[in-house]
Amino acid sequence: MRRIVISVVVGLLVVPGMVMAEGGGFDEELFEVFLKARVGTGEPIYWFSIGEVYSYPDGALLARMEGFDTARLVRDESDPHTAFQLSRKTFTYRDAETNEVIREVDGKPASHIKYPYQYITYKLVDDRMQTFVEQGSGARLRKLGPAEEMVARRVGDVVFFSAPLFLNFETPRGKYEAFEHYDFFIQPDGSAPNQLSWIRYGDLPPFLGPGKTIIHLVSWRVESFDALPDTMKEWVKTDAQLWREPPKDMEEIRELQKPKDAPAK
Protein backbone atom coordinates (compact mmCIF):
# COMPACT_ATOMS: atom_id res chain seq x y z
CA MET A 1 0.00 0.00 0.00
CA ARG A 2 2.80 2.39 0.87
CA ARG A 3 4.45 1.87 -2.53
CA ILE A 4 1.15 2.61 -4.27
CA VAL A 5 0.71 5.86 -2.34
CA ILE A 6 4.25 6.96 -3.12
CA SER A 7 3.76 6.13 -6.80
CA VAL A 8 0.59 8.21 -6.92
CA VAL A 9 2.33 11.19 -5.30
CA VAL A 10 5.29 10.96 -7.67
CA GLY A 11 2.91 10.66 -10.60
CA LEU A 12 1.17 13.88 -9.55
CA LEU A 13 4.50 15.67 -9.47
CA VAL A 14 5.39 14.77 -13.04
CA VAL A 15 2.16 15.36 -14.91
CA PRO A 16 3.12 15.95 -18.57
CA GLY A 17 2.94 19.61 -19.55
CA MET A 18 2.71 20.88 -15.98
CA VAL A 19 4.68 24.12 -15.47
CA MET A 20 6.62 24.10 -12.22
CA ALA A 21 7.49 27.09 -10.05
CA GLU A 22 10.95 28.48 -10.59
CA GLY A 23 13.16 30.98 -8.84
CA GLY A 24 13.11 32.49 -5.38
CA GLY A 25 15.52 35.38 -5.65
CA PHE A 26 15.20 38.83 -7.22
CA ASP A 27 16.88 40.50 -10.16
CA GLU A 28 16.35 43.92 -11.76
CA GLU A 29 13.50 42.67 -13.94
CA LEU A 30 11.59 41.11 -11.03
CA PHE A 31 12.22 44.18 -8.88
CA GLU A 32 10.57 46.34 -11.55
CA VAL A 33 7.73 43.83 -12.05
CA PHE A 34 6.92 44.00 -8.34
CA LEU A 35 7.06 47.80 -8.15
CA LYS A 36 4.85 48.33 -11.20
CA ALA A 37 2.29 45.81 -9.98
CA ARG A 38 2.21 46.76 -6.32
CA VAL A 39 2.66 50.53 -6.46
CA GLY A 40 2.22 51.58 -10.09
CA THR A 41 4.38 54.11 -11.89
CA GLY A 42 3.51 57.36 -10.11
CA GLU A 43 -0.22 57.94 -10.37
CA PRO A 44 -2.45 56.70 -7.50
CA ILE A 45 -3.45 53.02 -7.66
CA TYR A 46 -5.88 51.07 -5.45
CA TRP A 47 -6.05 47.53 -4.09
CA PHE A 48 -9.58 46.52 -3.05
CA SER A 49 -10.02 43.71 -0.48
CA ILE A 50 -12.80 41.48 0.83
CA GLY A 51 -12.59 38.69 3.37
CA GLU A 52 -13.60 37.12 6.65
CA VAL A 53 -12.76 37.23 10.36
CA TYR A 54 -12.83 33.88 12.18
CA SER A 55 -12.34 33.03 15.82
CA TYR A 56 -9.48 30.62 16.48
CA PRO A 57 -9.36 27.69 16.98
CA ASP A 58 -13.12 27.00 16.66
CA GLY A 59 -13.50 28.78 13.30
CA ALA A 60 -16.70 30.73 13.98
CA LEU A 61 -17.36 33.45 11.41
CA LEU A 62 -17.46 36.69 13.44
CA ALA A 63 -17.45 39.36 10.76
CA ARG A 64 -16.63 40.17 7.19
CA MET A 65 -14.08 42.72 6.07
CA GLU A 66 -13.89 45.15 3.20
CA GLY A 67 -11.35 47.82 2.51
CA PHE A 68 -8.64 49.16 0.27
CA ASP A 69 -5.06 50.33 0.09
CA THR A 70 -4.13 53.30 -2.10
CA ALA A 71 -0.55 54.08 -3.05
CA ARG A 72 1.75 56.00 -5.36
CA LEU A 73 5.33 55.25 -6.37
CA VAL A 74 8.24 57.66 -5.90
CA ARG A 75 11.63 56.74 -7.38
CA ASP A 76 15.02 57.53 -5.92
CA GLU A 77 16.58 59.56 -8.72
CA SER A 78 20.08 58.76 -7.52
CA ASP A 79 19.60 54.99 -7.18
CA PRO A 80 17.57 52.84 -9.63
CA HIS A 81 17.56 50.03 -7.07
CA THR A 82 15.63 52.05 -4.47
CA ALA A 83 11.97 53.08 -4.60
CA PHE A 84 9.36 54.39 -2.18
CA GLN A 85 5.71 53.56 -1.61
CA LEU A 86 3.53 56.40 -0.25
CA SER A 87 0.27 54.82 0.81
CA ARG A 88 -2.61 54.65 3.24
CA LYS A 89 -5.25 52.02 3.90
CA THR A 90 -8.59 51.54 5.58
CA PHE A 91 -10.55 48.36 6.28
CA THR A 92 -14.05 48.01 7.70
CA TYR A 93 -15.51 45.22 9.82
CA ARG A 94 -18.95 44.27 8.53
CA ASP A 95 -21.85 42.19 9.80
CA ALA A 96 -21.48 38.60 8.62
CA GLU A 97 -25.14 38.45 7.54
CA THR A 98 -26.06 41.95 6.34
CA ASN A 99 -22.61 43.27 5.34
CA GLU A 100 -23.43 46.54 7.10
CA VAL A 101 -20.56 48.35 8.80
CA ILE A 102 -20.38 47.26 12.45
CA ARG A 103 -20.68 50.34 14.65
CA GLU A 104 -20.76 48.62 18.05
CA VAL A 105 -20.92 45.19 19.68
CA ASP A 106 -22.57 44.78 23.09
CA GLY A 107 -22.23 48.50 23.66
CA LYS A 108 -18.54 48.59 22.71
CA PRO A 109 -17.73 50.88 19.76
CA ALA A 110 -16.12 49.13 16.82
CA SER A 111 -12.67 50.37 15.89
CA HIS A 112 -11.97 50.01 12.18
CA ILE A 113 -8.56 49.96 10.53
CA LYS A 114 -7.42 53.38 9.33
CA TYR A 115 -3.74 54.01 8.58
CA PRO A 116 -3.29 57.70 7.67
CA TYR A 117 -0.10 56.66 5.90
CA GLN A 118 2.44 53.91 5.42
CA TYR A 119 5.86 54.73 4.03
CA ILE A 120 7.70 51.76 2.56
CA THR A 121 11.18 51.69 1.06
CA TYR A 122 12.14 48.93 -1.36
CA LYS A 123 15.80 48.19 -2.08
CA LEU A 124 17.26 45.64 -4.47
CA VAL A 125 20.37 44.22 -2.78
CA ASP A 126 22.09 41.44 -4.75
CA ASP A 127 19.34 38.82 -5.24
CA ARG A 128 17.11 40.05 -2.40
CA MET A 129 14.56 42.79 -2.04
CA GLN A 130 14.76 44.58 1.30
CA THR A 131 11.76 46.45 2.70
CA PHE A 132 11.65 49.15 5.37
CA VAL A 133 8.33 50.36 6.81
CA GLU A 134 7.47 53.54 8.72
CA GLN A 135 4.04 54.06 10.31
CA GLY A 136 2.48 55.82 13.29
CA SER A 137 3.16 59.23 14.77
CA GLY A 138 4.82 60.88 17.75
CA ALA A 139 5.78 58.39 20.43
CA ARG A 140 4.03 55.65 18.43
CA LEU A 141 6.12 56.17 15.31
CA ARG A 142 7.45 52.74 14.42
CA LYS A 143 10.15 51.78 11.94
CA LEU A 144 10.41 48.16 10.83
CA GLY A 145 13.08 46.49 8.72
CA PRO A 146 15.04 45.60 6.90
CA ALA A 147 12.96 42.55 5.98
CA GLU A 148 14.16 40.44 3.07
CA GLU A 149 12.09 37.26 3.32
CA MET A 150 10.03 37.94 0.17
CA VAL A 151 10.61 35.41 -2.59
CA ALA A 152 9.74 35.63 -6.29
CA ARG A 153 8.61 32.67 -8.40
CA ARG A 154 7.40 32.19 -11.95
CA VAL A 155 4.77 29.73 -13.14
CA GLY A 156 4.45 30.22 -16.87
CA ASP A 157 3.66 33.89 -17.48
CA VAL A 158 2.50 34.53 -13.91
CA VAL A 159 4.89 35.86 -11.27
CA PHE A 160 4.29 35.12 -7.57
CA PHE A 161 5.70 37.24 -4.77
CA SER A 162 5.37 35.69 -1.30
CA ALA A 163 6.22 37.48 1.94
CA PRO A 164 5.88 36.15 5.50
CA LEU A 165 5.70 38.80 8.23
CA PHE A 166 6.44 37.94 11.86
CA LEU A 167 5.41 40.78 14.19
CA ASN A 168 6.77 40.78 17.74
CA PHE A 169 7.40 44.07 19.51
CA GLU A 170 6.45 46.16 22.53
CA THR A 171 3.84 48.93 22.32
CA PRO A 172 2.40 51.37 24.89
CA ARG A 173 -0.51 48.92 25.17
CA GLY A 174 1.70 45.87 25.71
CA LYS A 175 3.37 43.29 23.54
CA TYR A 176 2.13 42.95 19.98
CA GLU A 177 2.43 39.52 18.35
CA ALA A 178 0.97 38.39 15.04
CA PHE A 179 1.79 36.50 11.87
CA GLU A 180 0.80 37.67 8.40
CA HIS A 181 1.47 36.24 4.97
CA TYR A 182 1.17 38.02 1.62
CA ASP A 183 0.95 36.25 -1.76
CA PHE A 184 0.86 38.51 -4.82
CA PHE A 185 -0.15 37.01 -8.17
CA ILE A 186 1.07 39.22 -11.00
CA GLN A 187 -0.64 38.50 -14.30
CA PRO A 188 0.70 39.19 -17.80
CA ASP A 189 -0.09 42.79 -18.81
CA GLY A 190 -3.76 43.23 -19.66
CA SER A 191 -4.79 39.60 -19.11
CA ALA A 192 -6.43 40.03 -15.67
CA PRO A 193 -6.20 42.23 -12.56
CA ASN A 194 -3.22 41.57 -10.32
CA GLN A 195 -4.27 39.76 -7.15
CA LEU A 196 -3.23 39.33 -3.53
CA SER A 197 -4.10 36.72 -0.91
CA TRP A 198 -3.43 37.79 2.69
CA ILE A 199 -3.83 35.86 5.93
CA ARG A 200 -3.27 36.95 9.53
CA TYR A 201 -3.10 35.16 12.87
CA GLY A 202 -3.23 37.31 16.00
CA ASP A 203 -5.51 38.85 18.62
CA LEU A 204 -9.15 39.52 17.90
CA PRO A 205 -10.16 43.17 17.49
CA PRO A 206 -11.01 44.24 21.09
CA PHE A 207 -14.68 44.97 20.34
CA LEU A 208 -15.12 41.33 19.20
CA GLY A 209 -13.84 40.02 22.52
CA PRO A 210 -10.73 38.26 23.82
CA GLY A 211 -9.05 35.44 21.98
CA LYS A 212 -7.28 34.79 18.71
CA THR A 213 -8.38 35.21 15.14
CA ILE A 214 -7.62 34.12 11.62
CA ILE A 215 -8.36 36.84 9.06
CA HIS A 216 -8.22 36.14 5.36
CA LEU A 217 -8.51 38.71 2.57
CA VAL A 218 -8.40 38.48 -1.19
CA SER A 219 -7.47 41.65 -3.05
CA TRP A 220 -7.19 42.86 -6.60
CA ARG A 221 -5.87 46.04 -8.13
CA VAL A 222 -8.05 48.73 -9.68
CA GLU A 223 -6.81 51.87 -11.34
CA SER A 224 -8.96 54.59 -9.77
CA PHE A 225 -11.07 55.50 -6.77
CA ASP A 226 -14.16 55.50 -8.99
CA ALA A 227 -13.55 51.81 -9.77
CA LEU A 228 -14.00 50.86 -6.10
CA PRO A 229 -17.44 49.46 -5.12
CA ASP A 230 -20.09 51.82 -3.80
CA THR A 231 -19.71 50.41 -0.27
CA MET A 232 -16.14 51.72 -0.14
CA LYS A 233 -16.93 55.06 -1.70
CA GLU A 234 -19.69 55.55 0.87
CA TRP A 235 -17.29 54.66 3.71
CA VAL A 236 -14.81 57.27 2.49
CA LYS A 237 -17.57 59.85 2.18
CA THR A 238 -18.90 59.32 5.73
CA ASP A 239 -15.90 58.10 7.75
CA ALA A 240 -12.59 58.31 5.89
CA GLN A 241 -12.29 61.30 3.58
CA LEU A 242 -8.50 61.40 3.94
CA TRP A 243 -8.31 57.98 2.28
CA ARG A 244 -9.65 59.23 -1.05
CA GLU A 245 -6.06 59.37 -2.37
CA PRO A 246 -2.59 58.36 -1.17
CA PRO A 247 -0.23 60.92 0.38
CA LYS A 248 0.89 63.51 -2.13
CA ASP A 249 4.57 63.56 -1.17
CA MET A 250 7.10 63.02 1.60
CA GLU A 251 6.27 66.40 3.13
CA GLU A 252 2.74 65.19 3.85
CA ILE A 253 4.05 62.00 5.42
CA ARG A 254 6.49 63.85 7.67
CA GLU A 255 3.62 66.04 8.87
CA LEU A 256 1.54 62.94 9.65
CA GLN A 257 4.45 61.51 11.65
CA LYS A 258 4.53 64.42 14.06
CA PRO A 259 2.85 64.17 17.49
CA LYS A 260 -0.83 65.03 17.21
CA ASP A 261 -0.38 68.13 19.37
CA ALA A 262 2.72 69.37 17.52
CA PRO A 263 2.42 73.05 16.52
CA ALA A 264 1.81 73.68 12.85
CA LYS A 265 4.53 75.50 10.89
Supply the DSSP string of the chain, one letter for each residue. -HHHHHHHHHHHHT-TTPPPPEEES--HHHHHHHHHHHH-SSS-EEEEEEEEEEEETT--EEEEEEEEEEEEEEE-TT-TTEEEEEEEEEEEEE-TTT-PBP-EETTEEP--EEEEEEEEEEEEETTEEEEEEEE--GGG-EEEEEE---EEEEETTEEEEEEEEEEEEEETTEEEEEEEEEEEEEPSTTTS--EEEEEEEEEPPGGG-SSEEEEEEEEEEESSGGGS-HHHHHHHHHH-GGGGS--SSHHHHHHHHS-TTPPP-
Do residues 179 and 168 lie in contact, with contact meaning Cβ atoms separated by under 8 Å?
no
Q: Name which of 15-19, 182-186, 196-200 the model is least confident about.
A: 15-19
Overall number of domains in the chain:
1
In a domain, 265, yes or no: no
**b/e code 56-72 from CB counts within 10 Å (16+ = b):** eeeeeebbbbbbbbbbb
Task: Tell me the percentage of the chain whose pLDDT exceeds 90.
Answer: 81
Residue 23 confidence class, pLDDT cut points 50, 70, 90: low
Q: Above 80 in pLDDT, residue 39?
A: yes
| For the ranges 1-10, 136-145, 213-222, 256-265, the one whose mean pLDDT is highest | 213-222
In a domain, 102, yes or no: yes
What is the rounded average pLDDT of the residues 154-180? 88
Do residues 72 and 46 lie in contact, with contact meaning Cβ atoms separated by under 8 Å?
no
In a domain, 4, yes or no: no
In a domain, 128, yes or no: yes
In a domain, 6, yes or no: no
Q: Above 80 in pLDDT, residue 116?
A: yes
Q: Above 90 in pLDDT, residue 12?
A: no
Q: Above 70 in pLDDT, residue 208?
A: yes
Q: Above 50 in pLDDT, residue 95?
A: yes
In a domain, 14, yes or no: no
The pLDDT value given to residue 17: 37
pLDDT in tens, 225-238: 999 999 999 999 99
Domain ranges, residue 183: 23-257
* Mean pLDDT across the chain: 89
In a domain, 71, yes or no: yes
pLDDT in tens, 235-247: 999 999 999 999 9
What is the rounded average pLDDT of the residues 187-198? 90
Residue 74 confidence class, pLDDT cut points 50, 70, 90: very high
Record the pTM: 0.87
CA-based nearest residue to 20, from 221, 155, 166 = 155
In a domain, 55, yes or no: yes
What is the rounded average pLDDT of the residues 13-19? 37
